[in-house]
Amino acid sequence: MYHINFNKPCNVHFIGIGGISMSGLAKLLLSRGFRVSGSDNKESELTKELEMEGCRIFYSQTADNISDELDLIVYTAAIHEDNPELVAARASKAVTITRAELLGQVMSNYHTAINVAGTHGKTTTSSMISEILLEAQKDPTISLGGILDSIGGNFRVGHSDIFLTEACEYTNSFLSFNPTVNVILNVKEDHLDFFKDINDIRHSFKLFTEKLPQAGTLIINSDIDDIEYFYRDAACQNVITVGSDPEKSVYSACDITYNSLGLPSYTLIKNKKKIGTLSLGVPGLHNVYNSLAAIACGELLNIPFETIASALLHFKGTRRRFEYKGVLMPNNTTIIDDYAHHPDEITATLKSAANYPHNRIWCVFQPHTYTRTKAFLDDFAKALCLSDIVVLADIYAARETDTLGISSQTLRDKIISLGGTCYYFKSFEEIQNFIKTNCINNDLLITMGAGNVVEIGENLLK
């Protein structure tokens, strides 16, 4: 079976090449001399860029796109089993693999493959590490789950032996990876449409840790319950802990303060000794702990503390992570957008907002998937009550259909039962009209969720 080898480029075809991760991998292989083709349903800026770099793209997915010259065919989880191109691919002489399997094969070609995992914080922490590597001129190859302005997107093709990526647990995709450094930020309940329960999730992260070689390194949050469970059977010998308790953590923080925009500064503790002071360019206590994991990774790669501190100060976040969108006039309302779609993430974001200038905090929340909304209904209601006023949009179904008898109206009733102020509207237009009339006088408006709720703030600002 063919495995990706940068010294032996071949003919690779991507089914669904226009996806943000697939297009990045296609660019990487093009830069390494591979002959790349692909298909997608429609033209986009990403596919145009690929065509300019020499990639042949078909804007349909038919069996005719699969030629005898292909050696490797890559497809995404979004491609259905009866897709005619995938059916033809499996009938061909070429090897067919998933995007996750390709990513795992790609990182095998790097001396250092850093995988950032966890229920929350993957994109922000990966981006912090990215900024540190760039500031240190390490020239890494980077694959992120969000848009980082420093690299002009979510993928950067570097020329060093360092590869950095997010590692998502959903459908156990990170078990296809081949890391040398694993970062585990937290292990919480999520994706219960795939996992049975928290024990099933913990088992998946344990298997992920066991992917590390003996010479590998695990960076793990010491606040996770029974952290030894994850590495006691692993070959990896080097474990670095980060967290809130300096007695249990190699890296911790104390003397945490916030400026007028809610941006934290703190004293770094390493092995129970104060090392120096850092200031972050992103708000929230949760980002203090994200930064500890990034610092541990930077120092593992022998990057000086001063370089790490400078990078963290200059890091302003990725898109859709407490992202400033603008001020709505004449209401004088600041609009922030955030990707939070899990109760823990909502809690962290709204606690960050409490340190940001505001009169009242409004949260326009779009629940993401029926499964998650039903599983965490009580936790969602409790978290959202941290804002002064909640406005709910309809559930963003994503990959699901409504078979669970759950709705945003159910969540509204729960929030009101807890004493919260909550409104629910079926359309974005109704929400926008309500906001324009009622959100005024230095109020802070946060559009929140993993769907298309960001459009509400953008439409208002237009």
Catalytic residues: 122-123, 166
Q: Which residues pair with 362 in a beta bridge?
A: 389, 445
Whether the Cβ atoms of residue 328 and residue 445 lie closer than 8 Å to each other: yes
Whether the Cβ atoms of residue 120 and residue 345 lie closer than 8 Å to each other: yes
**Whole-angstrom distance, CA of residue 275 vs CA of residue 218:** 22
According to DSSP, residue 461 is labeled H
Whether the Cβ atoms of residue 302 and residue 292 lie closer than 8 Å to each other: no
Cα Rg of the chain (Å, integer): 23
**Whole-angstrom distance, CA of residue 392 vs CA of residue 408:** 6
Which of 226, 275, 218 shows the shortest CA–CA distance to 246?
275
The residue written with tokens 């909550």 in the block is 422
**Whole-angstrom distance, CA of residue 445 vs CA of residue 329:** 13
**Whole-angstrom distance, CA of residue 398 vs CA of residue 200:** 23
**Whole-angstrom distance, CA of residue 337 vs CA of residue 445:** 8
**SS3 of the chain: helix, strand, coil, percent, to 5:** 35, 25, 40
